[in-house]
Structure 1
Amino acid sequence: MKEEFLALDVIKNDTTNRFELTVDGIIAFIDFKQKDQLIKLIHTEVPEALGGRGVAAALVEKTLVFLETNNFSLYPYCPYVYAYIKRHPDWKRVVDPTFPKYDEL
Structure 2
Amino acid sequence: MNSVTDNTERSQYELPVDGQIVFARYRRKDNVVAILHVEAPMALRGSGAAGRLMQGIVELARSRDEKLMPLCSYAAAWMRRHPESNDLLA
**TM-score of the superposed pair, with normalisation by structure 1:** 0.82
Which segments of structure 1 move beyond 3 Å, counting only runs of 4 or more? none
Q: Is the 8 A contact 1:32 1:43 kept in 2?
A: yes
Aligned alpha-carbon RMSD (Å): 1.0
Residue aligning to 1:30:
24
- Is 1:90 matched up with 2:78? no
SS at match of 2:68: strand
Other-structure match for 1:21? 15
* 1:84 alignment partner, SS class: helix
Q: Distance in 1 between matches of 2:2 and 2:22?
A: 12
Structure 1: 5+ residue stretches without partners:
1-6, 97-105
Using the alignment, how far apart are the partners of 1:64 and 1:92 within structure 2?
10
Residue in structure 2 matched with residue 65 of structure 1 by the alignment? 59
Structure 2 residues not aligned, in runs of 5+: none
The alignment covers a number of residue pairs equal to: 90
Higher strand share: 2
3-state DSSP of counterpart to 1:28: strand
CA distance in 2, matches of 1:90, 1:52: 23
TM-score by length of 2: 0.95
Q: Distance in 1 between matches of 2:83 and 2:18?
A: 30
Higher Cα Rg, which structure: 1
